[in-house]
């Protein structure tokens, strides 16, 4: 089985990611996050928010609506420019992104004749309100960025930030992708984490470089292996219509090096366009220099679903332990969905079960903790390893007398005997190391 198949199977088996609407045969390329998936995803969002909003003093958070005034997409250029070219096979009817065909004129699947590349707008279109006519067309946002640009004046007026400053937002975006695939890597509904960082135009090149480093290191600090991460500057021909320069952070997925995040210099394109189309002056007044200016924007834009996938792939490991293979998800401690699992060694001794349950309740006040007594200890450990649980605490007969428990470390499998009254402190120290 190749690594992607193993990841997909682990995700389903252990409750990370399921196929959407599976009981109806599934909706293709759409995925639901299960109990551990949502925790991992939330932990990634939390780590991102912490590094970019809480630990900096130049970035403010936001949460704009998914639905926006249609003029936004006219101004941003998405109505006119957010196209991919698609080619259809006249025989088997399969659809391809023209750029993926690399000049081929015959269908790669059946050899049939292909249509010329035809533009296909990637925005999902629907109608607002009960009347389905052109006056009521509304789009599902294809990026969260525009919600931040159109609030530029609100932010200046309410918070008075000084340049350089940024806005940060996490939220869903939608693109009617022609070729979704590779599990959660390319889907039509996905979540983005984006920063719009406003700078003086002459500082844009320098700030772009700083952001590329800052964002690259974020992935490394959360445990992604160095050899699995690289920076790839865009060639001029692949830049988006609004960008002057862009560097992708790519991860070495089992299906090849692919984009995790793009960091672009969007220039003053968006603020100028919105000023022009809305008639409102989206400018910044520099009080020291007594100067009005339209800032440039540096945009680090990452995908949460792609991050989840990269962290899963990177953490997946199979180790030989005696004659068995131990499957363990070595997720960073901040990302692991469960921090502690409490496992009673004998489930038919009521005092042990009671003690383990009471301990679980108490630990839950401080850490994400689960309780499991539904199998023999070997199997319980295996289950916890597969979801990346950091510490397994076993309660045994001895615990009833000495009020101590055994704590097993996920990565080293080393076991420590710890007094129950010291357990929280012990786990806390390890988590905050």
Nearest distance, CB of residue 303 and ligand ATP, angstroms: 2
Q: Which of 271/308 has CB closer to ligand ATP?
A: 308
Q: Is residue 303 close enough to count as binding ligand ATP by CB under 6 A?
A: yes
CB 366 within 8 A of CB 342: no
Nearest distance, CB of residue 186 and ligand ATP, angstroms: 4
Question: Which of 37, 147, 262, 388: binder of ligand ATP (CB under 6 A)?
Answer: 262
Nearest distance, CB of residue 207 and ligand ATP, angstroms: 18
Question: Which of 78, 186, 333, 410: binder of ligand ATP (CB under 6 A)?
Answer: 186
Nearest distance, CB of residue 32 and ligand ATP, angstroms: 15
What residue number has its CB nearest to ligand ATP?
A: 303
CB 419 within 8 A of CB 404: yes
SS3 (DSSP) at 288 = coil
Nearest distance, CB of residue 316 and ligand ATP, angstroms: 20
Nearest distance, CB of residue 254 and ligand ATP, angstroms: 16
Nearest distance, CB of residue 86 and ligand ATP, angstroms: 14
Q: Which of 303/344 has CB closer to ligand ATP?
A: 303
How does strand 245-253 pair with strand 256-267?
antiparallel
Burial of 161 (0-12, 13-18, 19+ CB in 10 A): middle
Rounded Cα gap, residues 132 and 130, in angstroms: 6
Question: Which of 259, 286, 334, 362: binder of ligand ATP (CB under 6 A)?
Answer: 259
Nearest distance, CB of residue 9 and ligand ATP, angstroms: 21
Handedness of CA 388, 338, 195, 186 (dihedral sign): positive
Rounded Cα gap, residues 336 and 41, in angstroms: 10
Q: Is residue 295 close enough to count as binding ligand ATP by CB under 6 A?
A: no
Q: Is residue 301 close enough to count as binding ligand ATP by CB under 6 A?
A: yes
Q: Which of 270/305 has CB closer to ligand ATP?
A: 305
Q: Which of 141/175 has CB closer to ligand ATP?
A: 175
Question: Which of 39, 305, 372, 373: binder of ligand ATP (CB under 6 A)?
Answer: 305
Rounded Cα gap, residues 385 and 17, in angstroms: 17
* Site stretch for ligand ATP (CB under 6 A), options 2-10, 298-306, 312-320, 364-372: 298-306
Nearest distance, CB of residue 330 and ligand ATP, angstroms: 23
- Residue showing tokens 């990346």: 388
Q: Is residue 37 close enough to count as binding ligand ATP by CB under 6 A?
A: no
Rounded Cα gap, residues 197 and 241, in angstroms: 18
Handedness of CA 352, 358, 363, 364 (dihedral sign): positive
Rounded Cα gap, residues 118 and 130, in angstroms: 31
Q: Is residue 170 close enough to count as binding ligand ATP by CB under 6 A?
A: no
Q: Is residue 187 close enough to count as binding ligand ATP by CB under 6 A?
A: yes
Q: Which of 261/385 has CB closer to ligand ATP?
A: 261
Tell me which residues in 55-84 interact with ligand ATP (CB under 6 A). Answer: none
Q: Which of 175/408 has CB closer to ligand ATP?
A: 175
Burial of 328 (0-12, 13-18, 19+ CB in 10 A): buried
SS3 (DSSP) at 184 = coil
Burial of 132 (0-12, 13-18, 19+ CB in 10 A): exposed
Q: Which of 16/190 has CB closer to ligand ATP?
A: 190
SS3 (DSSP) at 63 = coil
Q: Is residue 261 close enough to count as binding ligand ATP by CB under 6 A?
A: yes
Size of the site for ligand ATP (CB under 6 A): 15
Q: Is residue 99 close enough to count as binding ligand ATP by CB under 6 A?
A: no
> Which of 193, 229, 223, 225 minimizes the C-alpha distance to 45?
193
For residue 116, how many other CB atoms are within 10 A of its CB?
Answer: 9
Rounded Cα gap, residues 265 and 233, in angstroms: 12
Q: Give contact residues for ligand ATP (rule: CB under 6 A).
A: 175, 177, 186-187, 190, 192, 259-262, 301-303, 305-306
């Amino acid at each position: 089985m190749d690594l992607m198949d193993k990841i997909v199977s682990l995700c389903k088996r252990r409750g990370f990611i399921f196929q959407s609407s599976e009981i109806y045969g599934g909706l293709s390329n759409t995925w639901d996050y299960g109990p551990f998936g949502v925790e991992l995803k939330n932990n990634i969002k939390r780590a991102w928010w912490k590094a970019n909003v809480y630990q900096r003093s130049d970035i403010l958070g936001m949460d704009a609506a998914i639905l926006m005034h249609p003029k936004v997409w006219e101004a941003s250029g998405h109505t006119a420019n957010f196209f991919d070219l698609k080619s259809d096979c006249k025989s088997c009817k399969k659809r391809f992104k023209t750029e993926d065909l690399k000049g081929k004129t015959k269908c790669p699947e059946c050899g049939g004749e292909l249509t010329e590349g035809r533009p296909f707008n990637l925005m999902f279109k629907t109608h607002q309100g009960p009347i389905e006519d052109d006056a009521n067309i509304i789009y599902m946002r294809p990026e969260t960025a525009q919600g931040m640009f159109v609030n530029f004046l609100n932010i200046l007026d309410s918070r008075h930030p000084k340049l350089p400053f940024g806005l940060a937002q996490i939220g869903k975006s939608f693109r009617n992708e022609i070729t979704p695939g590779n599990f959660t890597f390319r889907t039509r509904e996905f979540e983005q984490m984006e920063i719009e960082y406003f700078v003086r135009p002459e500082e844009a090149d320098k700030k772009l470089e700083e952001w590329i480093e800052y964002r690259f290191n974020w992935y490394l600090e959360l445990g992604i292996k160095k050899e699995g991460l690289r920076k790839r500057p865009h060639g001029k021909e692949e830049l988006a219509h609004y960008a002057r320069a862009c560097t992708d952070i790519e991860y070495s997925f089992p299906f090849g090096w692919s984009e995790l995040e793009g960091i672009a210099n969007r220039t003053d394109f968006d603020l100028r366009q919105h000023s022009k189309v809305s008639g409102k002056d989206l400018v910044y007044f520099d009080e020291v220099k007594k100067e009005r200016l339209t800032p440039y924007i540096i945009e680090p834009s990452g995908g949460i679903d792609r991050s989840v996938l990269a962290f899963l792939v990177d953490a997946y490991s199979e180790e030989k332990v005696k004659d068995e293979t131990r499957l363990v998800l070595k997720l960073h401690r901040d990302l692991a969905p469960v921090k502690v699992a409490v496992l009673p060694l004998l489930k038919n001794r009521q005092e042990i079960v009671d003690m383990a349950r009471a301990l679980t309740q108490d630990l839950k006040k401080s850490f994400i903790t689960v309780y499991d007594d539904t199998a023999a200890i070997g199997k319980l450990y295996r289950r916890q390893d597969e979801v990346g649980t950091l510490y397994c605490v076993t309660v045994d007969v001895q615990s009833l007398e000495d009020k101590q428990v055994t704590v097993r470390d996920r990565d080293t499998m080393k076991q420590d005997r710890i007094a129950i009254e010291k357990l929280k402190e012990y786990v806390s120290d390890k988590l905050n190391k």
